[in-house]
Amino acid sequence: MPRPAGRAARDLLARRKDAANRLRREVLGADGSLGHPYFRALERRLAQERPRRVPLDRIFRKCLAARLVYVGDFHAVPACQEFAADLLARLRAAGPVALGVEFVYARQQGVLDRRQSGGMDDASFLRRIHYREEWGYPWRGYGEMLDRARELAVPVVALDSPPRAGFEGLARRDEHVARRIAARLCSSPGERLLVLIGESHLAPGHLPASVGRRLSRLGSGVEAVTVFQSPDAPYWRLLAARDEPPEAAALGSGAFAVFHTPPIAKYEAYRQVLERWREDVPPDEEVDLTPAVHHLVGVLLGWLGIDPERHRIRHRGGWAEDLADAFPEVYSGPEAKALLGPILAEHGSSAAESREARSALEARGALYEPRSNTVFLLRYLPGRAAGEGARFLRAALSGRLFSAAEEPAAGPVERAYAAAYEEGLAYLGSLLVDPAGDYLLPDDRRALAAAGGRSAPRGGTAWALRDRWLAAHLRFEAGGSWTVPEEIAGYLRGARGVRRALARDLGHRLGWALFERVRRGDLGERELRSLFSRPLAPARSSRAVVGLLRGDRGPSEEKPGPRPAARPRVAGRGRWVKESSRPRK
């Protein structure tokens, strides 16, 4: 993808960055670490780097060539521990390796050894090391990492020392960890050591310097590599150079970065941890995701130039209210599964509609239901949550809150194009918020790539019908007719599942086309606001979608002239945390 140029591309990047930084300031300001010199040291170092995109395999090769591998851990994100486990397996395949962990105190080494030998279950292990009180981050990633180490017969070394409370003990803890690392390296000369530790400990003057001094005094030296995980400053710099989420980067001086979690998702994960601590609930228990979804809705409203406290929306029943008062209810995790059926039944959904909604939630992990004005999330993925937030805004701004998603009186062709329009706005919303692009499912990515949209790896089921239909639609768009050809309309009159899949594919192409125009500066606040708020009768939906795909500038800039036919012809048919001893990251 070419380097983004111009004011619009810079504005896109700035808005995405601001959305993440607002959440970052909220959560890190809450625990007092935002301006502390210890944490600022790493931020300054990373801000000075000029990252270069490199293949992930290059980082693996560098780690295999080193004796000591530091891996930065953002504790609230299980993907950080998953990456460490995968890297551990690669190192183990090349020879002996040990794993050093921060979340267990050195004095608890015996308890850790019992767990790793199979002599203690997880529930007992967590009680014995006071995991909830002393660490408190989600256990899943750490537990799976320890399981992988046990499967690989990799010894695990406890590194930390108490107390963790406050910032004044950080340097002391670094020295203790350095002593443990140096002792392990010297006592096991034929062994590599992978150390998973909070990323802020890995600033050059912190833990790496302490280890270097100790090894020097012992007359020893080892080659070390540092791998940061999803660091903010390199991520934004790489996106500024090329608007495509990076996989890995070289930072210089034996330091690298891997990217698997966008900043907005990192800080939302930490917000959830802080919420659990505030409410004193177990580390893996679901928390309320309402603030997360409402934050994303606010980000999208910024793109539309709308203040939710001052913008009034009118409902079909004739009454009006402030947009801020109409924000959706949000249910997540097991609660979302349990409440979906009853809530839909309360609002008149049929049994078939409820089954369809449940299948959609299972497949996508996120669902906005307009009749109840509710967002259901199985887990938080920012792109998908933003997409459902965009669906809410479309319903709210077009006066369709508490109404069915489809017009029952419309024909199947009209319903398909109307659904494609809605899907296009949802996908656009996800792209405006989250460049990592977790909105699409694998088959969706393949279909979009086949149609010449966003590049994506091929895979999944070979949807030959979808490919043929999209190819036919591309020919339709290239022509000048507004009449929907029978080779397109015929499939849309077929099975409901096929029609829905084709509408999604077309919507994703539309969303990507709109996003490209935002990036070029062709769509601004006024045009985006009109796209989300324009009433769209199903009879006009095909002309609206095809027109936008052909490059129409948008509904607010239609040229004067005769209005299009009311119905398209179809060929062949007539905040807030408690103080805690837990470390931040």
- pLDDT 10s digits, 224-248: 999 999 999 999 999 999 888 999 9
Instruction: Evaluate if residue 574 carries a pLDDT over 60.
Output: no
Nearest to 6 by CA among 520, 526, 435: 520
Which 3 state secondary structure label does DSSP give 102?
strand
Q: Is the dihedral of CA 578, 104, 232, 384 positive or negative?
A: negative
Q: Give 570 or 201, the one with higher predicted confidence.
A: 201
Checking DSSP bridges between strand 366-369 and strand 374-377, what pairing results, if any? antiparallel
Q: How far apart are CA 319 and CA 14, in angstroms?
A: 37
pLDDT at 494 over 50: yes
Note whether 567 and 543 are within 8 A (CB).
no
Whose tokens are 């005769």? That residue is 562
Read off the pTM. 0.86
What is the Cα–Cα distance from 129 to 285, expressed in whole angstroms? 19
Share of the chain above pLDDT 70, in %: 90
Burial of residue 238 (number of CB atoms within 10 Å: 0-12, 13-18, 19+)? buried
Q: Of 36-45, 130-139, 439-448, 528-537, which range is least confident?
A: 439-448
pLDDT in tens, 240-274: 998 889 999 999 889 999 999 999 999 999 999 99
Q: What are the φ and ψ backbone dihedral angles of 343, each rounded to 5 degrees? A: -65, -45
pLDDT band at 451 (very low <50, low <70, confident <90, very high): low
Question: Which helix (H) or strand (E) covers residue 251, if one does?
Answer: strand 248-252
For residues 330, 335, 341, 345, the Cα torsion angle rounded to the nearest 10 degrees is -50
Q: Which of 116, 137, 15 is nearest to 515 (CA)?
A: 15
Q: Give the model's confidence band at 554: pLDDT under 50 very low, under 70 low, under 90 confident, else very high.
A: low
pLDDT range class, residue 416, cuts 50, 70, 90: very high
Is residue 316 predicted with pLDDT exceeding 90? no
Q: What residues contact residue 166 under an 8 Å CB cut-off, 6+ apart? A: none
For residue 147, report the phi and psi dihedrals to the nearest 5 degrees. -60, -40
Q: What is the mean pLDDT of residues 88-116?
A: 98
CA distance 576 to 271: 9
- 239/187 Cα distance (integer angstroms): 43
Q: What SS3 state is found at 202?
A: helix
User: Rounded mean pLDDT of the chain?
Assistant: 88
Q: Would the pLDDT of 567 be above 60? A: no
> Looking at residue 328, what DSSP letter applies?
P
pLDDT over 80 at 558, yes or no: no
What pLDDT was estimated at residue 442? 73
Provide the pLDDT for residue 563. 36
Share of the chain above pLDDT 90, in %: 71
Fill in the DSSP letter of residue 559: P
Instruction: Give the tens place of pLDDT for each residue, 328-355.
Output: 999 999 999 999 999 999 999 899 889 9
Tokens 């199979």: give the residue. 118
Q: Number of C-alpha atoms within 13 angstroms, CB side, residue 509?
A: 30
pLDDT at 308 over 60: yes
Contact between 333 and 380 under an 8 Å Cβ cutoff? The reply is no
59 neighbors 255 (Cβ within 8 angstroms): no
The pLDDT assigned to 367 comes to 96
Mean pLDDT to the nearest integer, 103-112: 98
Q: Residue 252's pLDDT is what?
A: 86
Q: Which top CATH class is 6-262? A: alpha beta
Query: Phi, psi (5° rounding) for residue 246?
Result: -75, 155
How many angstroms separate the first and last alpha carbons of the chain?
A: 33
Structure confidence at residue 538 (pLDDT):
86
pLDDT (0 to 100) of residue 403: 83
Predicted pLDDT at 3 = 46
In tens, the pLDDT along 32-71 reads 777 788 888 999 989 998 999 999 999 999 999 999 999 9
Q: Which two three-digit tokens encode residue 224?
A: 């070390």
Is the pLDDT at 406 greater than 90? The verdict is no
- In the chain, ranges of CATH 3.40.50.11550 domains: 6-262
pLDDT value of position 2: 44
Mean pLDDT of 382-408: 89
Distances (CA, A) of 39 to 44, 134, 206, 209, 585: 9, 20, 10, 16, 9
DSSP per residue, 34-54 = TT-HHHHHHHHHHHH---EE-
457-490 pLDDT, tens digit per residue, is 444 444 688 888 999 999 999 999 999 999 999 9
- Residue by residue, DSSP assigns 413-444 as HHHHHHHHHHHHHHHHHHHHH-TT--SS-HHH
- Please give the structure tokens belonging to residue 82: 């998953």
Q: What is the pLDDT of residues 143-183, one digit of tens each?
A: 999 999 999 999 999 999 998 877 778 999 999 999 999 99
C-beta of residue 72 within 8 angstroms of C-beta of residue 202: yes
195-233 pLDDT, tens digit per residue, is 999 999 999 899 999 999 999 998 888 999 999 999 999
Q: For tokens 């009209």, what's the residue?
A: 414
* Res 564 pLDDT > 70: no
